[in-house]
Structure 1
Amino acid sequence: MSNSSVKPTEMFRHFSLGVGPMSKNTVQACGRIANRHGIPLMLIASRRQVESKKLGGGYVENWTTREFCEYVRKECPPNSLLICRDHGGPWQHPSETELDDESAMKSSLASFEEDIRSGFQLVHIDTSLERRGVAQTKKALQRLVELYAHCHDFARALGRSVHFEIGFEDQSVDTDYPPEFSDKLHDVLKNLTDRKLPLPLFVVAQTGTKILETENVGAIKSAPLAVRHSIEQLAKSCSEQGVALKAHNADYLPTEKISMLKRCGVSSMNIAPELGVAETRALVAVLKEFNLNAQLERFLQIAFESLAWKKWMKPNSQASDADRAIIAGHYVFGTEECRAIKDAAESACCRIGKTLDRLLQSKVEESVERYVLASVGNVGAKHD
């Protein structure tokens, strides 16, 4: 079916796949896939990826919040992509690392306000972080309710409709303990309803999925039966309380594990790092194919020197410098030096009648489509 006449508020009721907008090529690839299958995809921009200039900006294409929204609306089929904030909240942007509580909350509120003004359709409020660490649950819940109320009131004052996703825990390899999760969920939802606030659409739980390097190291792979049982209980708890369960860090999963999450009651899942790595590997392959050795060496060098790979490494990692550069490659796509490297690759592609960006997009599409087909099947007519 075509989604061209479906209202954005109705789109979230279908199974939703959240995709990190790692580059313009990722956005373009997602627009095509959504149009091809007749289902909307969520573009889930973290604050590190896309942020207003006055709050420090982001690394993806140097887009501000407003520029990102304008690009999606201009370049992609109508209603194919839902614009969403991923991991909004205090201490979620590198510029906030040293801020005190009041300043970090003020900064995150300013970020949410710009999201809403720019037309974001869903915001994820994540209060799992604390200055230099992980927040205690009680404090995380207090901050979540405060931010939620402010965003709701701000959107209503502008005549906007904004949906919510909530999370208050740092990502883990294991699943949440279902009874404990149910109690915490009950507490936060009661706080919201007591303030006459609408329920969130999605609640993030620990579903045994976690990314390190280029692998999903979560318990979903090492203990699938136990994870399945826990997720079924987590999903039941969410359903009984009127919200939908969402899984983060679902990258690098085989088809059967993607399908398992859906069968167990997961209503939505996010992927992002896998797509950046897919595009990086494709770019490296093109540079090798055309013997652009100087450009290849320089690209790997600037990616490695960015140190953006550090957060993704396993303890006592055996990864080479080149492996680390591949993990970090997409973080430097927006730099002037990387753009010059891509210009050289584009010129080489043109000489044989190919387009660099289309080659890169095709590799991103392969990863995204694997999740779409495993989750919802071939639900729409082909348009390509």
Structure 2
Amino acid sequence: MLKTQKISLKKTISNMLKLQDSGYYSTLIGIGPMSSNLLQASFELAKDEDFPLMFIASRNQVDKAELGGGYVNGWNQQTFSDAIKVEAEKAHFHGLYYLCRDHGGPWQRDKERNDHLPVDEAMARAKESYLADIKAGFDLLMIDPTKDPFQMGKVVDLDKIIKWTVELIEFCESQRIELGLPEIGYEVGTEETNGGLTTTDRYETFIQRLKAELNQKDLPMPTFIVGQTGTLTRLTEQVGDWNFQNALDLSTMAKKYGVGLKEHNADYMDDVSLLLHNSAHITASNVAPQYGTEETRAYLKLVQVEQSLYSNGLIDKPSRLHEVLLDRAIRTERWRKWMEGDDVNLKVDDILKNSKLSAEILDISGHYAFNDPDTKNEIKNLYQNLAKNSIDGQRFVVEHIKRPIQQYVKDLNLTGLTSKIESI
């Protein structure tokens, strides 16, 4: 049986800040849940290494069907929560794990932003989504009203951001209390490099003003405040300029107000930068597309194995996984957010005619097509062909995903953290 009660995420971060006072530093990973395989890999590792898990889902990934649903396994908030419980039970995991809303708020679905929804309608949809989060047992809600389509490309307007942030926290707290649910944490701020919370002065101004507004309404302070440490993900690389001193300054500032510094876009980071995260006192970092890319790469390696088996007469008919996954991934067009320059506007048909470019885009966007029915059918065919030759394809995929997670677990000093948190 899983524990019926657990330490809240807010309490976990509070205890991590206490551990910092004794000279013990760790950085949690916010894992983007791209698939059931990733959930399985995460739970197995967390069980072995004794650290808390945070699963972060954007509204594009997981949301109510009435609001457009999500591209990850077709999960809505409740089926996402249910799937995570199932994977935890399968792994016999009895530790801490948290469901987290990443980038909740108005205009956070691509369609809402592209349609330039009016403020009132966008806020109403955000509240509807948050209510579904709360009912499904989410532990952390990111309040992010920074994607205003009428202000794109401009410096973030802190007056508007604070006003909308407070309104949304007030709504969520009223719903949580009305439903009789335990405390949840909130994450606020923005990782935007254009006018975001990049300097300690601007960061503290935001915290002070937000704190004053929240106190006036008797609302809780957030658990995390996002700050820009220099991270930036493009294609399958970390192209940002991670800044140790800026990270330390921001985390020190956040701790002064009893909250943790949250870092976004921490994919594909090198060991040196990751090891320095502990000394920079960053409490949590988000990693998402990297793990989706690793799963795609695992499938493509298995396709190579399958082709070799076919060439040697050991299977009758190979799957069409590579062909189908490539086509479906490119047609999602979700890869555009990871591209730079003129490549952002490339036409799908032109990409499909260019084998080198197609392969590059498949690498960064294969995970967007994992839930496609034809893709799932070809994965099944692949596994069956491999099984005839004593190869467990699904286990290989899970172990392949574990590799980059393990790097972060070790570098970010996560081993044994759950036991330390629970002992305080």
TM-score by length of 1: 0.91
After superposition, residues 243-262 of structure 1 pair within 5 angstroms as 243-262=259-278
Instruction: Report what 1:224 is aligned to.
Output: none
Identity of aligned residues (%): 28
1:24-173 equivalences under 5 Å are: 24-76=36-88, 77-97=93-113, 98=115, 99-131=117-149, 133-134=151-152, 136-160=157-181, 161-168=183-190, 170=192
Q: Does 1:277 align with 2:293?
A: yes
Q: Distance in 2 between matches of 1:140 and 1:214?
A: 31
Cα distance in 1 for partners of 2:380, 2:293 equals 20
1:301 pairs, out of 327, 337, 353, with: 327
| Change in CA separation of 1:80 and 1:360 when aligned onto 2, cut-off 3 Å | farther
RMSD of Structure 2 on Structure 1 (CA): 2.3
CA deviation vs aligned residue, 1:260-294 (integer Å, no higher than 9, x gap) = 12211211111000000000011111112101474
Distance 2:336 2:84 in 1: 30
Quick one: structure 1 residues 173 and 361, their matched pair in 2 at CA, closer, same or farther if it must change by over 3 Å?
Answer: farther
Say if 1:140 and 1:168, in contact at 8 Å, map to a contact too. no
SS in 1 for 2:283: strand
Q: For the Cα contact (< 8 Å) 2:227–2:261, is it kept in 1?
A: yes
CA distance in 2, matches of 1:250, 1:217: 10
3-state SS, counterpart of residue 199 of structure 1: coil
**Cα distance in structure 2, aligned partners of 1:261 and 1:247:** 10
Partner of residue 7, structure 1: 7
Aligned twin of 2:254: 238
Q: Distance in 1 between matches of 2:197 and 2:167?
A: 27
Aligned length: 374
Does the residue aligned with 2:412 lie in a helix, a strand or coil? helix
Tell which structure's C-alpha radius of gyration is larger: 2
Query: Which amino acid is 2:120 matched to?
Result: E
Deviates more, 1:29-38 or 1:127-136: 127-136
| Aligned partner of 1:368 among 405, 414, 417 | 405
- Once the two structures are TM-superposed, the CA of residue 240 in structure 1 deviates from its matched residue by 1.0
Alpha-carbon separation, structure 2, partners of 1:112 and 1:248: 21
Instruction: Report the alpha carbon displacement of residue 190 of structure 1 after superposing the two structures with TM.
Output: 1.5
Q: Which one-letter code corresponds to 2:161 in the other structure?
A: A
Please list every run of 5 or more consecutive structure 1 residues that lacks an aligned counterpart in the other structure: 221-226
Structure 2: state its 5+ residue gaps: 17-26, 308-317, 345-355, 419-424
User: Contact 1:36/1:380 (CA < 8 Å) preserved in 2?
Assistant: no
| More off after superposition, 89-98 vs 17-26 | 89-98
1:177 to 199, 203, 208: 199
State which drifts further: 12-21 or 275-284: 12-21
Is 1:356–2:393 an aligned residue pair? yes
